[in-house]
């Protein structure tokens, strides 16, 4: 004979896994009634707890341009290096 509480996880896990899908389906129907479009939010993939992601430092020029609020340094046009400027 098998304990009922031992079998509970076998039935509980699939129900818990389907809850987000059911939520998004119901929200899509509710938004549809009002004439709106429901889009599922973008989910971040889970991170590995054993090997944390290394912080990537941006050293390339392309990375600096993509950052909002980053300013480029503007240098004077180079002409003759030995010429004196008065």
* Domain boundaries, position 26: 10-35
Show the 3-state SS of the chain: CCCHHHHHHHHHHHHHHHHHHHHHHHHHHHHHHHCCCCCCCCCCCCCCCCCCCCCCCCCCHHHHHHCCCCCCCCCCCCCCCCCCCC
Number of domains comprising the chain:
1
58 located within any domain:
no
User: What pTM was estimated for this model as a whole?
Assistant: 0.44
Tell whether the model's pLDDT for residue 80 goes beyond 70: no
81 located within any domain:
no
Tell me the pLDDT band of 23, cut-offs 50, 70 and 90: very high
18 located within any domain:
yes
């Amino acid at each position: 004979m098998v304990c009922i509480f031992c079998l509970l996880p076998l039935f509980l896990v699939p129900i818990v896994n389907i809850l987000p899908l059911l939520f998004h389906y119901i929200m899509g129907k509710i938004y549809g009634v009002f004439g709106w479009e429901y889009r599922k939010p973008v989910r971040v993939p889970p991170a590995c707890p054993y090997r944390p992601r290394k912080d990537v430092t941006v050293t390339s020029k392309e990375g600096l341009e993509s950052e909002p609020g980053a300013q480029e340094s503007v240098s004077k046009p180079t002409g003759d290096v030995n010429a004196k400027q008065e």
